Amino acid sequence: MTLPDRDDVSRRKFLQAAVAVGGAAGLSACLGESDGGGTERIDAPAGGSLDDRPARQHAWNDVLERDQDGNVRPPAHHVLADFSLVADGTPGDSDRETVEEALRELERAIALQPDGLLFTVGYTPAYFDRFDEKLPDDVDLPDPGPVTYLENSETIAFDTHDLTVHLASDDPAVVLAAEEALLGNRETLNGHEMATSFDGVLERAGEPDDRRTGFVGPGLPAQKQDEGEVEGMPDHDIAEGAPFWMGYRSGFQESQATEEYVEIEGGAFAGGTTQHVETLRVQINTWFDQDSHHERVSKLFSHVHADEDRVGEFGEKLGTSTGIMDAVDDTATDARDPGVVGHAQKAAREREDGVPPLLRRDFNTTVAGNLPGVHFLALQDEISTFERVRRAMAGEELAENGAVSVRQNNGILQYLSVLRRGNYLVPPRAHRSLPTPNP
């Protein structure tokens, strides 16, 4: 990806392009745009003392803002920065100290706030395979592989690098500057001198044009559509208030697990969580141009939500609850008549005593060149929990027994294809730096 000419595009578009391009070029473009001066300084709240940092890396909700209904509002800009160890074999104590010190430097430099920096570090099963020792039984972290019956016909890449740092902020320059600082490409970060970086211990994994970045927030998909740069966009207008490509709000409080609920309960990694990242191509041109609003709401929520106009244009009628539990018990009968089942309706079948087991932190991106996509990031206690919900979303038995087919009218399956999957352990903060399997 290359940066557009500054004079040809809007400010927001230029900033999003800068995050996707990354590196020094992306950052200086971003900085020049953020403060108008092209200086090497970002302007974020300073980090200060590390004593108040939460023990859980994934504890973001207390500091994140809320929307007008009280739902957690995710940060707008995201980078999933993939790294691998420079050396073969297992990391030593000095490597561990270097990584920990680099992460602490990020924390000293920038506050844990939406306009500051939120981050987690997650480790793949491939990382733990470096050790002879096995992960304790409390940690369910299988190698990534196909999850649903549909994936036998898809070509999916599985993550085998060592670790991913998920960087998030409302300020696009912050995520880029933090990534560059970890790589050792910046001496100062937000005016703070970076005494240490990952340099020498970790290196960027994957090809430079494989960078995983994205954005989420009301108005951003509509803005992308207006700018006309992304391919595969619909003719139908995406609602101004929609934060996601498919045009509806998501992440309502009542359909999200709490940060406590997704914790690993016992053992050395207690307080940590597991993370699944699935990259999807999303065919929003078909979604918007072939389906009516009634069909879209039926497929995303349930036909009852569509019949009773419960959702509104983009979900504005739903406060903190989709009320999806009203429709869950009817999923199999709905598959026969009227012959359509909703995505949320299917997924909610896997709630545990009414409690959703996944904490979803997904965001929009572009994939396969420049087509709409999603990095679907979910936190849960065990990867098997994710797989259980994902299979419920695929609804194989509904296609066998109902009037819906494998992909048609079976939630949103028709519009999605899986490109990439990865499983991660996100340890508690105390063990976030190159942990052994039993720290």
Identify whether 338 is preceded by a cis peptide bond (ω within 30 of 0): yes
| Residues 300 to 319 in contact with ligand HEM, rule: CB under 6 A | 300
Q: Which of 34, 190, 196, 255 binds ligand HEM (CB under 6 A)?
A: 255
* Residue listed under structure tokens 């602490």: 104
Q: How many residues bind ligand HEM (CB under 6 A)?
A: 26
Q: For ligand HEM, which stretch binds (CB under 6 A), given 73-81, 174-182, 189-197, 346-354?
A: 346-354
* Residue listed under structure tokens 């859980």: 56
Contact track, ligand HEM, 260-299, x by CB under 6 A: ------------------x-x-x-----------------
Tell the smallest beta-carbon distance from residue 247 to ligand HEM (Å): 9
Q: Which of 56, 211, 305, 343 binds ligand HEM (CB under 6 A)?
A: 343
58 binds ligand HEM (CB under 6 A): no
CA-to-CA distance for 131 and 134, rounded, in angstroms? 7
- Closer residue to ligand HEM (CB): 117 or 216: 216
359 binds ligand HEM (CB under 6 A): no
* 158's tokens: 């599985």
- Closer residue to ligand HEM (CB): 94 or 408: 408
CB closest to ligand HEM, residue no? 255
20 binds ligand HEM (CB under 6 A): no
128 binds ligand HEM (CB under 6 A): no
Q: Which of 60, 83, 127, 244 binds ligand HEM (CB under 6 A)?
A: 244
* 169's tokens: 């902020």
3-state secondary structure of 312: coil
347 binds ligand HEM (CB under 6 A): yes
Q: For ligand HEM, which stretch binds (CB under 6 A), given 43-51, 154-162, 231-239, 351-359?
A: 351-359
Q: How many residues does the chain have?
A: 439
- Closer residue to ligand HEM (CB): 105 or 362: 362
Detail the DSSP E strand segments found in 104-169.
Answer: 118-123, 157-158, 163-169
Q: Which of 19, 30, 344, 426 binds ligand HEM (CB under 6 A)?
A: 344
| Residues 369 to 408 in contact with ligand HEM, rule: CB under 6 A | 374, 376, 389-390, 393
* Residue listed under structure tokens 């409390």: 138
* Residue listed under structure tokens 């979303």: 393
Q: Using an 8 Å Cβ cutoff, are 162 and 126 in contact?
A: yes
Q: For ligand HEM, which stretch binds (CB under 6 A), given 156-164, 186-194, 226-234, 347-355?
A: 347-355
Residue 141: closest CA among 119, 118, 122, 113: 122
- In the chain, % helix, strand, coil (3-state, to 5) comes to 30, 20, 50
- How far apart, in Å, are the Cα atoms of 175 and each of 51, 66, 328, 382? 23, 21, 39, 28
- SS3 annotation, 248-267: CCCCCHHHCCCCCCCCCCCC
Tell the smallest beta-carbon distance from residue 253 to ligand HEM (Å): 9
* Residue listed under structure tokens 């696009």: 172
Geometric angle at alpha carbon 81, from 114 and 217, rounded to 5°: 35
Q: For ligand HEM, which stretch binds (CB under 6 A), given 131-139, 185-193, 244-252, 291-299?
A: 244-252
Q: How many helices (H) and strands (E) does the chain have?
A: 14, 13
3-state secondary structure of 96: helix
322 binds ligand HEM (CB under 6 A): yes
Tell the smallest beta-carbon distance from residue 206 to ligand HEM (Å): 22
Q: Using an 8 Å Cβ cutoff, are 170 and 114 in contact?
A: yes
Q: Using an 8 Å Cβ cutoff, are 379 and 342 in contact?
A: no
Tell the smallest beta-carbon distance from residue 124 to ligand HEM (Å): 19
Q: Using an 8 Å Cβ cutoff, are 195 and 103 in contact?
A: no
CA-to-CA distance for 338 and 317, rounded, in angstroms? 24
Q: For ligand HEM, which stretch binds (CB under 6 A), given 5-13, 77-85, 120-128, 345-353?
A: 345-353
257 binds ligand HEM (CB under 6 A): no
Q: Which of 348, 379, 413, 426 binds ligand HEM (CB under 6 A)?
A: 348
- What DSSP designation does 206 have? S
Q: What residue ranges bind ligand HEM (CB under 6 A)? A: 244, 246, 248, 250-252, 255, 278, 280, 282, 300, 322, 324, 343-344, 347-348, 351, 356, 358, 374, 376, 389-390, 393, 416
